[in-house]
Amino acid sequence: EPVQVIFRRKEVGFRCEDLRHLNEQERDAYVQEFIRQDKAAGFDLSRDALMRVAILRTGDEDYYFVWSSHHILMDGWCVALVTDEVFEAYFAAVEHRQPKLAPVTPYSQYIEWLEAQDEAAAASYWKDYLLGYDQQTSIPTGKVG
């Protein structure tokens, strides 16, 4: 059974650092090391926030925006949607206006749709679609990089 769990309080991995006190070479090295460590940290699904955001200020009007998320949270299709919303919110703030965002469909509506689907018809569709495949597809495992 699909279940949606919403925490009343959940820590989000957010950091904001001002690096303007460093010289240019030190700032560049710090940013590169920060990104390397962020990638190496990965995500522990049992305890970590599934997304981390860091803003590293490197100049009076220069920033690095480091946004990391676990792949279980967003796939390639939804990354573009979320990125569009983030940039719309950003540009709206810069332009002192309300962001223009598409209405949000509640997850519960998807669950209702899912429960209304004909499981036998879906199984028949996939059985016909995969007819003729006689081997399993190997899925790579382990950490890359």
CATH code: domain of residue 43: 3.30.559.10
Task: Classify each residue of 2-28 as buried b or exposed e, where b means 16 or more C-beta atoms within 10 Å of its C-beta.
Answer: eeeeeeeeeeebeeeeebeeeeeeebe
Over residues 64-123, the pLDDT tens digits come to 999 998 888 888 888 899 999 999 999 999 999 999 999 988 888 988 998 999 999 999
Amino acid at 129: Y
**Is 119 part of any domain?**
yes
| The length of the chain, given as a count of residues | 145
Percent of the chain at pLDDT exceeding 90: 58
Cα–Cα nearest to 13, from 59, 63, 54, 74: 54
Alpha carbon distance 3, 1 (integer Å): 6
**Is 137 part of any domain?**
no
Question: What are the residue ranges of helices labelled H in the chain?
Answer: 24-41, 76-94, 107-115, 119-129
Between residues 48 and 51, which one has the greater pLDDT?
51
**Is 79 part of any domain?**
yes
**Is 116 part of any domain?**
yes
Is the pLDDT reported for residue 145 higher than 60? no
**Is 2 part of any domain?**
no
**Is 4 part of any domain?**
no
Alpha carbon distance 67, 55 (integer Å): 9
**Is 8 part of any domain?**
no
Residue numbers of the domain that contains 109: 13-129
**Is 95 part of any domain?**
yes
Q: What is the pLDDT of residue 143?
A: 65
Q: What is the pLDDT of residue 64?
A: 97
- What is the domain count for the chain? 1
